[in-house]
Amino acid sequence: MRSSPHVFTLRQLQYAAAVGDVRSFRRAAERCHVSQPSLSAQVIQLEEQLGVQLFERGSRKVIVTTAGEVVLTRIRRLLLEADDLADSVRQLGDPLAGTLRLGVIPTVSPYLLPEVVPELRMRYPELSAVWVEDKTGTLMDALAEGRIDGALLALEAPLGEVEHEVVCEDPFVLAAPPGHPLAQSTRPATAQELRGADFLLLDDGHCFRDQALAYCASARGRELDFRATSLSTLTQMVAGGAGVTLLPRISLPVENRRSELAIRRLESPEPHRTLALVWRPRSPLGPSLRMLAQTIREKYEAARLRLGDALPAARKGAP
């Protein structure tokens, strides 16, 4: 390891990474909470010290050079290691103090967070959990780049290499308008009954859509042209008689609180998703995130017992 000082600073690397992310010096300065002239001067100094031009400056946009793409990849890796160093030192003190940036998918956040957030505040008063709602692919990109520390999502989605702690298994149910032929039985719905049924599903990008679509295809159901952006829109369309759908059972206390939908279980083995808190492999925050997942699991179980059969039983521990 060299003993001479480096010609660049972590702050300069952060500025360059921000410009590379947003392709704008103005927006990068806003992200870094610094003036644009100061950020521009530091990036120019970094380029001079490295002896390579990272960006082409145009009047309307910034283009990352070929060399810049290579260097920025290394810069982001260094910044991620620096973040991990700071996190690991923090773990030596109070592992659940400071700020944790957590992602959550839209088909989970409205149903778990109202229960979980107050509990986290009560149990860990020194912890500031900042939640970001987005689709799985976007959250996994943010996790890989170090913009969030963990994410609450379904393990069935393609996640790559992650560590995780399971929160619960969330079965799917059939939701139909009360007068629909599929609403006339209380028995678990069979695939044969669903053959030819008109299904409403979520829009592309939702991992729940992919799982529901796979089940509908196996049952030979038909997907309608309309695609909802949220489960709330989906339930309103079904309640209005536009078709039937699949819902994660965790959503029922919110989405069917007025009992506008007829709900049926699906025949065994029930399709389901496994909700878990995931994080980067070897992250120093792993122990803290496991403790958070345990708290979320306990709160989920308490809500399930309080609401009765509206929620499925949680599965203890991680596989």
CATH class of 97-166+277-310: alpha beta
Architecture of domain 10-89: Orthogonal Bundle (1.10)
Least confident range of 16-25, 28-37, 85-94, 211-220: 85-94
Q: Do domains 10-89 and 97-166+277-310 have the same CATH topology?
A: no
pTM score, two decimals?
0.71
Per residue in 251-303, pLDDT (tens digit) is 999 999 888 899 999 998 889 999 999 999 988 888 889 999 999 999 888 87
Please, is 8 exposed, middle or buried when counting C-beta atoms within 10 Å of its C-beta (0-12, 13-18, 19+)?
Answer: middle
Structural domain boundaries of the chain?
A: 10-89, 97-166+277-310, 169-272
Q: 309 pLDDT exceeds 90?
A: no
Q: How confident is the model at residue 304 (pLDDT cuts 50, 70, 90)?
A: confident
Nearest-10 Cα torsion for 215, 183, 300, 235: 80
CATH class of 169-272: alpha beta
